[in-house]
Structure formats: C-alpha cells, structure tokens
Structure 1
Amino acid sequence: MFGYRVPAPDEAMLISGGRRGQGGAPFRVVTGHGKFVLPVFRKTRFLTLAMCEAEVAERCVTKQGIVLTVRAVIAFKVGNDTESIVNAGQRFLSDQDQMSVLTGRIFAGHLRAIIGSMTVEEIITERQKLATEVLDTSKTEMAKIGLTVDSLQIQSIDDGDTGYIAAMSAPHKAAIQRQAQIAQAQAAQAAAEAEQAAARKQAEYARQTAVVQAEYSAEVDRVQAQSSQAGPLAEAHAQQEVLAARTELAQRAADLRQQQLVAEIVKPAEAEAERIRVLALAEAERMRIQAEAAASHGRVALDRMLIDQLPQIVKEAASGLSGANVNVLNGADGLGEIAAGLVGQGLTILDSVRRNLGSPDGDAEKSGGTGGGKIEIR
C-alpha cells in the first residue's frame, strides 16, 4: 500500500523527519511490524539486524617476547534493543560494512593486550581463557557502538619460524609416537600369536583326525582277525578247559595220596616216638631216684667207717710223739691238755676227710684241700 512500509524480520526500520524518537533519538525505530510513512515529509532507512562476521589476523608479542600470529573469527550483530539500534544506526547506517572492519580492529587491539600478559604455554593450553578475557574486555566498547558479540573463536596460533610451539609439542609427539609404536608392536605380536594359535589348532585337528582314522583302522583289523581266528580260538579254549580239568583231577589225587601217607606212616611214627620218649623219661626218673638213694646210703656208711677209724688215727698221732722230748709243766693238767689236743686234731682230720669225700671236687677246692682232695682208706 502506498506509504505503508514494513521492515524485514532481520531489519530495523528507521523513520526520520517529524517528531523525534525514544530518548531524544533523531529517528524512530520500528521492528517486527509496519508503519505508515508520509512521502516527502518522512524518510525511511533500514539497518540490518542479521549476524555479521569479522576476521582478525594479528601479530602479537607474548609475555616472553615471542611473536605469535593469531587468527580469530568474531560473530556479532546489532543489539535488539532500541538503544543499541539507535547507536548502531547513527554510526553505520550509511556504510554498514564498516561494522565488520571496526569490530576487527577493536578485537585486534584487545588480542594484543591480552596475549601480551600471557605466556605461549598458557595461550596454547588455555585458548578458551584467552577468548573469554578478550570478550570481557571488549564488551563495553562494543555496547557503545550498539553491537553485541555472540562468539569469539581462536582459529590458529602460529609462531612463524621460531619453532617454539613445535619444541613444546616435541615431548608429547615423542610420547605419542612411542605409544603408537608400542601399540603397533603389540598388535603385531597379537597377530603373530593368533596365527600361531590357529596353526596349532589346525595341527591338533589334523592329529586328532589321524588318531581317529588309525583307531578305526585298528578296530576293523581287529574284528577281521577275530573273525578269521574264531575257529582256532574255540578249539584252543576247549583244549585249555580239558587240560584244566585234568590238572584239577591230578591235584585231587595227589592230595588224597598225601592224606593216606599221613594216616599210614606219619601218625604211627609220631605215636611210637611219643611212647619211646615217655618210657625214656620214666627210666631216667627211676635211675635218678636210685642214685639219690645210693648216695645217701654211701654217706652213712662212710661216716660210720670214719668213726671206727678214729681211735687208730689218734693212736698214730700219739705214736708220732713217742720219741719226742715233751716237757709237762703243770703235771696232770698239762698231760690232759696234750691228750685233748691229740683227740681234737684227730676230730679235725676226720671232719676234713668226711667233707672231701662227701662233696664234689669244686667244693673240696673251696674248703682248702690240697693235692686233688682224694683220700684212700684201707
């Protein structure tokens, strides 16, 4: 319709002329709906609210004095509030491409400042920290020109020909390569072990197959041999049974003959030997009793004979004194003492003779006898 203007969804319509906009702005802002605009008296312009992109490639010096080339991408747009649209419209409405140029320059300055306070190690390992600090420091400036930043991405960090970053990554690369070599060696070893295991299994299967085939062949041969030897084996078994029966019969005959010999010869001989032994024992007992009686009778006779010979012994002892010169000191008493001494010597001799004759040779030697201890009396 003539005079009715509608902005696109990603645009803000700025109407200048007539009364001022909100907050004393030199134009009114219309978004999301249309509005009647009087021709000639009013003028409309459109400011994009779409996402814009700015690229930055900046040489920065780190805290260590190392020069790095940092490439980053900034995604930004005009703010949706009226104040941001007014600020951006006053600055970029005539040349909206300048928003990307100015945004790149702003972020380049903040990148240099932030990287100058960090080391290479921090920049490499903490890129998100770098991006966050750059966004925080640039937020105020971007708001003043009506822009908001949606994201900041650090694309690359290059140290040129210094080789500092490569030196930093060398230990890690070496470790990764070592791990890769170890993994490759382990994989090769596992593959070799698997191949060897498969070969062993195949050999085992082949061996088992050969064993089973040999067992089957042996079983067939055994059955064939048994069938061919069935007749001779049956005949041999029959002969073996006959021999066993004959052997058993002969053994029984031998046992019977042995029992007959025992009854006819051994038992009578044992009975006769027992009879002879009993008779011998009885005879020995009789002779022992007779010997004891004879010994007792002989001892009594010997004692009697010695008593009968005692006067003769005393007489012979006295005759030995007949030619001796004997002095009697105390008269009749002294003579009696001499006679008593002779009789005592005779009794001593008699007792000694009786002991020697009535005891064995060993007892005679113990009693002090000499010359064998044998005395002959006539």
Structure 2
Amino acid sequence: MFGYRVPQGDQAMLILGGRGGATAPFKVVTGHGAFVVPVFRKVQFLTLSLFESEVEEPCVTKQGIALTVKAVIAAKVGNDTESIVNAAQRFLSDQRQMPTLTGRIFAGHLRSIIGSMTVEEIITERQKLAMEVLDGSKEEMAKMGLIVDALQIQGIDDGGLGYVKAMAAPHNARIQQQAQIAQASADQAAAEAQQESLRQQAKYERDTAITQAGYAAETQAAQAKAAQAGPLSQAQSQQEVINAQTELAQRQASLREEQLVAEVIKPAQADAERLRIMAKAEAERTRIQAEAAASSNRVALDQALIAQLPQIVEKAAMGLSGAKVTMLNGSDGLSDMISGLASQGVAIFDALRGEVGSEKPQDGPAMPEPKGIAGKGCVNERTNG
C-alpha cells in the first residue's frame, strides 16, 4: 500500500519529520508497520542485530608484567525505545562505528582492570576478569544504547618472557608426576593382572594336565584290565580244569587203592589167616594123635576129640576175631560165614579121627581146604596187633 512501511525483524524503523516523542526527535516503530506520508515524513532503519568486536590490547599487571590480552565482545542495540533512540542519535548515520567504538571502550576497561590484578589471578580467574570488565563498561554502553551479550577472554600472552610458562611449570610437573604415578600404577596393575592371568592359566593347565593324566591312567588301567581279562579267564578255566582233573585223578587213585585192597591185599590176608588156622589145627591134631596113641583108647580119643572140637572152633573163631570182615550181602553173608566155620570144625574133627584110626602116625593127607572161611559174600581182613 502506498506510504505504508514495515521494518524487518532485526530493525527499528525511525520516522522523522513528524511529531516525535517527549525525548526523541523521531518516532520509533518495531515489530509492526506504519503509514508514512510522503514528502512530509522521512524513514530510516537502525539495525538491532548482534555484532562482534575483537580486542587485542597490551596491558600491564599489578606485578608490572606486560601481557597481551585477547578478548571478543558480542553486543547489540537494546530492544527498548530508549536504547534505540540513544543508539540512533549516535550511530544512525554510520552504524559501522558501533563495533569499533565498543572495542575501544572495552580495551580501556580491560587495561584498567588487569592493572589491578596479578598474572596468577588473571590466568586462574578469567571469569572474574570478564565480569569486572562488563560491570565497568555497562554504564558507558548503556549511554550509547548498547548492551553486551557476552565477553570472552580468548588468550593471555606474556610476549616471550616465559612467566606464564614458568608459572605453569610446577603445575605441569605435578600433573606430569601424577600422570607418571597413574601410568606406573596402571602399568603395575596391568602387570599384576597379567601375572595373575598367567598364574591362573598355569594353574588351569596344571589342573587340566593332572585331570588328563588321571583319565589316561584310568583308561590304561581299564585297557590293561580288559587285555588281562581274556588270559585271566582262560587261566582260571585251565586252573579249574586242572583242579577237576586232579580231583578226578585223586578219586581214581583212591578207587584204585580200594580195588587193590579188595582184590589183592584182603584176599592175601584171608589166605594167610586160613593157613595160620590150619597150621594151628594141624598142630592140635598131632597133639591129639599123640595122646590117643599113648592111651590106645579109641573112645577116649573120640571123646577127647569131641571135647576139643569146641576149642578148635573157638581157636578158629579167635583167629578171625582180629580180622576186619566186610559183609557183601548182609545177613546172608553172615550166615554163610558161620556155616563155614562149623563145617571147617567138623572137617577137622573127621580128619583127626581118620588119622588116629591109622596104625602109626604119619603125615596124613592135607586137610580139606575150608570153603571160604569168611563165608559166601564176605571178605576177611586181619590186622596183626
């Protein structure tokens, strides 16, 4: 629209030629537009944007040490009408002067404040230095309609004197010492950790080797036992066979011994006992014949023979009393044995009578051999006591 003007967001529109405010020769418009009558009114714009001012100023400290201080100031025109009016009255015709003049103002205050501080304070308390500079320049900046958003001390240089470096040397040495101590501690801890790791690894390797050796020993023992199981089983089987054969041989030997006793020794003992009994009977017959011949009494002889017959049988029985008799067929064997003894007694009696009846004594015929003195089904055994 014709005659209607609008300032930008970072500008203040100044309308000249009309009725201004009580303290300003122009009307200030910000944030909205306004009608400007051509020819009768004139419009100018004042920037409200932020500007930067750099300061590099040689200063002398309280100790007399020359320092070069670098600082950066960020400032702008205030947003209120008073600040805009003050800034417009000073910089409207040449707004580029605002950074230059701001830098000079701060340079003066910087020299003044550094002159009241030591190098140690300047280095260690930079924030305090910046705050004092801001406080010292605030009034002057307000008169120019400017406000400071930030002040930053960028660097402090002693011009090669080495004071700052020397001042930092103890701290650097202490820091380096602490760093070396920390590094040594770290190295020691790392070495201890490495040694502990090696010990643990060696321990694990030892335990593993012991366990493996134990397993290997158990495996070898099991393998050896398994390898010996066959021969041991075979040896045990052979031993059992040998034991069975030995027992069988012993039984066969015992049986053979019993057969030998039954077939050879016992019959021989029975024959010997028979011959002994016969010899005794012969001797008794001879004695009786002699007595009969002396008496020439046949009846007496018969009576004598009859009287002696029980003794003969008794003698025969006594001869068998010390013998071991084995019955082969029970009570029948016993009856046969008793009948045999009686028959032998009668035979002896008949023989004696026949011999006595002859004219002179002579060797008579052999007495009939007793029919099995032990009887049928028995075996005689005699043990000489």
TM-score, length of structure 1 as denominator length: 0.59
The CA deviation string for residues 313-358 of structure 1, in whole angstroms up to 9 with x for no partner, is xxxxxxxxxxxxxxxxxxxxxxxxxxxxxxxxxxxxxxxxxxxxxx
1:93: which partner in 2? Answer: 92
Report the residue type matching 2:167 in the other structure: M
- Residue 233 of structure 1 and its aligned partner are, at CA, apart by 9.1
Identity, % of aligned positions: 70
2:21: which partner in 1? Answer: 22
Name the SS of the counterpart of 1:213 in structure 2: helix
Query: Residues 233 and 50 from structure 1, CA distance in 2 versus in 1: closer, same or farther, beyond 3 angstroms?
Result: farther
Distance 1:143 1:104 in 2: 15
- Residue 201 of structure 1 and its aligned partner are, at CA, apart by 2.7
1:117: which partner in 2? Answer: 116
- Residue 52 of structure 1 and its aligned partner are, at CA, apart by 1.2
Segments ≥4 residues shifted beyond 6 Å: 232-235
Distance 1:11 1:127 in 2: 34
- Residue 220 of structure 1 and its aligned partner are, at CA, apart by 2.7
Distance 2:141 2:35 in 1: 33
Moved more, 221-230 or 76-85: 221-230
2:180: which partner in 1? Answer: 181
Moved more, 226-235 or 193-202: 226-235
Query: Residues 233 and 102 from structure 1, CA distance in 2 versus in 1: closer, same or farther, beyond 3 angstroms?
Result: farther
Unmatched segments (≥5 aa) in structure 2: 244-385
Moved more, 51-60 or 198-207: 198-207
Distance 1:18 1:208 in 2: 104
The CA deviation string for residues 251-287 of structure 1, in whole angstroms up to 9 with x for no partner, is xxxxxxxxxxxxxxxxxxxxxxxxxxxxxxxxxxxxx
- Residue 226 of structure 1 and its aligned partner are, at CA, apart by 4.2
Matched, 1:133 2:164: no
Which structure's residues are more often helix, by fraction?
A: 1
Report the residue type matching 1:65 in the other structure: G
Name the SS of the counterpart of 1:22 in structure 2: coil
Moved more, 61-70 or 215-224: 215-224
Report the residue type matching 2:17 in the other structure: G
Matched, 1:70 2:69: yes
2:260: which partner in 1? Answer: none
Query: Residues 83 and 211 from structure 1, CA distance in 2 versus in 1: closer, same or farther, beyond 3 angstroms?
Result: same
* Equivalences for residues 197-216 of structure 1 within 5 A: 197-216=196-215
1:7: which partner in 2? Answer: 7
- Residue 61 of structure 1 and its aligned partner are, at CA, apart by 0.6
Name the SS of the counterpart of 2:22 in structure 1: helix
Name the SS of the counterpart of 1:46 in structure 2: strand
Aligned length: 236
- Residue 38 of structure 1 and its aligned partner are, at CA, apart by 1.1
Name the SS of the counterpart of 1:99 in structure 2: helix
- Residue 121 of structure 1 and its aligned partner are, at CA, apart by 1.0
Unmatched segments (≥5 aa) in structure 1: 240-378
2:321: which partner in 1? Answer: none
Query: Residues 119 and 233 from structure 1, CA distance in 2 versus in 1: closer, same or farther, beyond 3 angstroms?
Result: farther
Distance 1:12 1:233 in 2: 124
* Equivalences for residues 216-235 of structure 1 within 5 A: 216-227=215-226, 228=228
Name the SS of the counterpart of 2:13 in structure 1: strand
Report the residue type matching 1:18 in the other structure: G
- Residue 24 of structure 1 and its aligned partner are, at CA, apart by 3.5
Report the residue type matching 2:153 in the other structure: I
Query: Residues 40 and 208 from structure 1, CA distance in 2 versus in 1: closer, same or farther, beyond 3 angstroms?
Result: same
Distance 1:35 1:152 in 2: 36
- Residue 196 of structure 1 and its aligned partner are, at CA, apart by 2.4
Distance 1:77 1:225 in 2: 101
Distance 2:134 2:114 in 1: 13
1:142: which partner in 2? Answer: 141
CA RMSD of aligned residues (A): 2.1
Query: Residues 108 and 233 from structure 1, CA distance in 2 versus in 1: closer, same or farther, beyond 3 angstroms?
Result: farther
Distance 1:207 1:233 in 2: 42
Distance 1:225 1:188 in 2: 53
Distance 2:30 2:23 in 1: 18
- Residue 194 of structure 1 and its aligned partner are, at CA, apart by 2.7
Distance 2:24 2:207 in 1: 99
Name the SS of the counterpart of 2:62 in structure 1: coil
